[in-house]
Chain A
Amino acid sequence: MAHPPVADRSSRPADASPGIPEPILLGMYRNIYATRRFELTCIEFYRQGLIRGYLHPYLGEEAVAAGACAALRPQDYIASTHRGHGHCISKGADLRLMMAEITGKATGYCKGRGGSMHISSKQLNHLGANGIVGGGIPIATGAGMGIKVRQTDQVVIAFFSDGASNNGVFAESLNLAGIYQLPVIYMLENNHYAVSTPIECATGCCDLAGRGPAFGVPGICVDGNDAREVYRETLQAVARARRGEGPTLIEASTYRHGGHHVNDPGLYMDPQTLAAWKARDPLALMRRTLGDEAKARAIEEQVEAELEAAVTFATESPEPSVVEFLAGIPD
């Protein structure tokens, strides 16, 4: 098996989340569940032609965003990727505004101008998803520089993939953040594929966390399917960043539950490996570790209601006005 899942450490007893307060655990479960259901709804909408362009589901990787964002305060920043719905939801997005944006409505976060690959929210300090692989890494690094100039104690999480880690800006930015000791957490979501290219075909050294120390930046590898592990390590990295001790690179090992985008069947993925990762589904894992059926159910019902409201809101929202759009374009 080319990409064996991280050894399952979740079957420990219910107290296997020492030190993580219950509201955090419940919050992470909420975001994992909301992302899962949101993505499945989007795929359905895509098939019906209600969503156009590209749609890159975050299915299977939900625990990374949920764990990482649980370590943040609302005023902290994130920069996201083309596979960004999970980051947006875990940063606290309103599902109605997200769904409206993804279906291209005037009421969406970006007035229907951005779509799935460009959702951002000033109110959430979400700097934006990005259509360019690696494009958000320097921007997040610069947000860290801005924080330093403004002398606040905010931090930034840059979400990006194993694919982006082979782009030049990854090395440049890690080096820059190391020089200026910027409050940036580089969250490398290693889903083991850049579109269809497996990581072992894209680098001579698959130890991606190991690239951190090369720039004087601590590099840590975590189980990206276990939100608790992601949360714990991110929390430590955030604390270091707030203390002015600089950046951290976290490699979260995870796996897509399907192809690169909704129209990619992912036939290049080994079925056995995929099955092994699915057996470690971040949603099931988190639900099991909650150990409280009633609370899990309550969260699920709440999310279903929110999602229904989001679908209604998006469906009933108007399209952007062409006249208004054209009138706003300078000569």
Chain B
Amino acid sequence: MTDIMYREALRRALDEEMQRDPLVFIMGETIAERGGSYKVTEGLVKKYGARRVVDTPIAEASFTGMAVGAALVGCRPVVEILFIDFAMLVMDQIVNQAAKYEFISGGQGKVPMVLRTQGGAGNGLAAQHSQSLEALFYHIPGLKVVMPATPRDACGLLKAAIRDDDPVIFIEHKLLYMTQGPVPDEEYVIPLGKADIKKPGRDATIITYSYMTLKCLEAAAALENEGISVEVVDLRTLTPLDKETILASVRRTGRAMVVHEAVKRGGVGGDIAAMLMEEAYDDLDGPVVRVAGKNTPVPYNVRIEQACVPSVEDIVEGVLRML
């Protein structure tokens, strides 16, 4: 194991997959010489050349559509959309084209592409650069949605996403790029659709993903000091959803809380809560709790920005409310 940064873990995944498969190529804005805004693709153009590390103009809809086309003719493109907010420009190509192709072609064609992007608040980037929009993609049949929280998961899941034959929306969090964590030295792949119990516990289950996993672990540590044992399930992949792990954990603890940064209304948490009502009602000792972002655009000012997203205190309070 070696400690590396989240962004280095992503770079390692891209590097290993490009090395392994000459049909993997990457496209995006300022990803070549500049190495990307978050330095994920640094150095790759030197190693693989401009044919496979492609700088694009600011034309998200079309270069994302190009990934669909390139995937259809046998390549495995990875496109980078600088902010998930900008992914709103590519919805036709993702929702109407990539997600539908295998289905409407009667299974003749697959779209093995990855759309890498990042979201989340925390850097004072205001309403058009801070959103958590995973629910939009989660809602669409035909897409897979991956949201890793740690360097180890980021590398292993990105490799799996590139090897997957379906379109994968791979959502990073801007506050995670500089976080560090241990990563195996040997090559490894983490299968999509497997949640990870980041901390075992007895009294309650927290279901979360992406950056909120870190906050939930902090909250769980604080609660541990009070003698409350919380299990933290990091979903890692939203689609396919690892219902088995969620249900098994909730059946053990009898209490469930879903935590995400995205606004509560219409969020993934509501869907998971409903699923628990349908499939684990008899195992629950109380209502499922949601701790999520406020139903508002993300503001610029740091104090009100912080007030929009769940804090460690919010999570602790949520757990105490359940018990």
Question: Which A residues fall within an 8 A CB radius of B?
Answer: 77, 79, 108-114, 118, 120-122, 127-128, 130-132, 135, 137-150, 156, 168-169, 172-173, 175-176, 179-180, 329-331
Contacts and interface: CB of A to CB of B under 8 A. Distances in A.
A239 to B, nearest CB: 20
15 contacts: A77-B73, A120-B105, A128-B105, A138-B63, A141-B62, A141-B69, A143-B72, A146-B73, A147-B73, A150-B73, A150-B74, A156-B69, A176-B57, A180-B54, A330-B240
Nearest to B239: A330
Contacts of A169: 61-62, 65
Given A142-B77, A175-B57, 20 more contacts: A110-B108, A113-B105, A114-B104, A114-B106, A128-B109, A130-B97, A135-B92, A137-B65, A138-B61, A139-B69, A139-B72, A141-B65, A142-B66, A142-B67, A143-B70, A146-B73, A149-B23, A149-B75, A150-B23, A180-B54
Contacts of A150: 23, 73-75
B105 A79 contact: no
A140 B70 CA distance: 8
Given A138-B93, A142-B65, A114 B105 contact: yes
Interface in B105-125: 105-109
B104 A113 contact: yes
Contacts of B66: 138-139, 141-142, 145, 173, 176
A176 to B, nearest CB: 6
B97 A139 contact: yes
B20 to A, nearest CB: 15
A120 B109 contact: yes
Interface of B: 22-23, 25, 27, 51-52, 54, 56-57, 59, 61-75, 77, 92-93, 96-97, 101, 103-109, 141, 240, 243
Nearest to B79: A142
A180 B55 CA distance: 10
A140 B62 CA distance: 10
B109 A143 contact: no
B243 A109 contact: no
B52 A149 contact: yes
Given A172-B59, A176-B63, A127 B104 contact: no
Nearest to A110: B106
Contacts of A179: 57
Interface centre among B59, B66, B77, B240 (most CB of A within 10 A): B66
Contacts of B54: 145, 180
Contacts of B57: 172, 175-176, 179
A-B interface, 8 closest residue pairs, ranked by CB to CB distance from nearest: A138-B65, A142-B69, A142-B66, A111-B106, A172-B62, A146-B70, A110-B106, A172-B59
